[in-house]
Amino acid sequence: MKLCVSCVVLAAACSGSSPSPAARVAKAGRAERLSIGGLEAYALEDGHLVVPNDGKLLAVGREPREVADLLAAAGLPRDTIRLDITCLLVKVGARVILFDTGIGQLPGADAGRLLASLALAGVQPVAVTDVFISHAHGDHVGGLVTKAGALAFPAATVHLAAAEWAALRADGDADAVALVAAMAPKVVPFEPDVQVLPVVKAIATPGHTVGHTSYEVGAPDGEKLFYLGDVAHHAVISVQRPAWSIAVDADRTSAESLRQRMLARFAAEDTHVFARHFPYPGVGRLAAQGDGVVWKPQ
């Protein structure tokens, strides 16, 4: 299990040029207030990746022209694909709950703004009580430790699926070993499909990784928000062509089948979804259109 998203993604995201004034301003981060019933929640910007439309990450095996036509029909550039990186924060009672931790110090992306965004939501890192990890790819766990190797959220319990934790501990990669050493004292693994906290239910969604987990967030008798994780990566490609392969899905067949089923179900049930790689703030719903579904941001 690699801590980087993929070497292809990170290398492609590096432009080698100095950031523009607008980009330097954006480093301050963003925090947008969300509605999940009566819960106080925020979409926290970490940054984004931009990769070429070359079939090496999304739409593996498809002709770039076919992908370009799909992107252009949605008003997007034909030759590049942008993936935003957004984390979810929920405050409930004495708990401050963070879902995934962004890229942190990993190179190659225009990212690393989570702490600035967290501050805009009125939260200091030491105040975070619970961190929920969807899976152990670098854009989800990179912000869990500081550059010095200390826990970025020292008071937080770290929740992740037992299968994902086992796979991470078995990984001999140096970054994985260091991450395991830092987070082990705080980890509380869980089994699939359990109510971990009163407002957080873990939903097993394996395929992208062996222990990939999505989360249903909200009071049991109130409105819910479904935290998608990496079931889908792109608001057009993954949604309108869910059977197209994604290079970083560990089990592509399972991931593609799951993606098709879940997106169709969300459209049928009008589910409120948080999709962290979709355009910021990543909140919306799926809607039926023709023989498929489309993303409707809110």
Query: CATH no. for residue 274?
Result: 3.60.15.10
Question: 88 in a domain, yes or no?
Answer: yes
What residue numbers bound the domain in which 134 lies? Answer: 30-297
Question: What is the number of domains present in the chain?
Answer: 1
Instruction: Say what the pLDDT of residue 6 is.
Output: 37
Question: 98 in a domain, yes or no?
Answer: yes
Q: What is the phi/psi pair of residue 246, to 5°?
A: -120, 125
**Contact call for residues 233 and 277 (beta carbons, < 8 A):** yes
Question: 2 in a domain, yes or no?
Answer: no
| Residue-wise pLDDT tens digits, 145-171 | 998 999 999 999 999 999 999 999 999
The position carrying tokens 């949604």 is 239
Question: 15 in a domain, yes or no?
Answer: no
- Which structure tokens are listed for 228? 């998608």
- The total of other beta-carbon atoms located within 10 Å of residue 188's CB is 12
Instruction: Say what the pLDDT of residue 108 is.
Output: 63
**Contact call for residues 252 and 230 (beta carbons, < 8 A):** no
Instruction: Say what the pLDDT of residue 221 is.
Output: 84
All residue ranges of the chain with pLDDT < 70 are: 1-27, 106-108
Question: 195 in a domain, yes or no?
Answer: yes
Closest CA to 153 of 98, 108, 76, 204: 98
CB within 8 Å of 275: residues ≥ 6 apart: 228, 232, 235, 282, 283, 284, 295
Question: 21 in a domain, yes or no?
Answer: no
Does the reported pTM lie above 0.85?
yes
Question: 175 in a domain, yes or no?
Answer: yes
How many angstroms separate the Cα of 165 from the Cα of each of 71, 74, 137, 159, 171?
A: 36, 38, 12, 9, 10
Question: 253 in a domain, yes or no?
Answer: yes
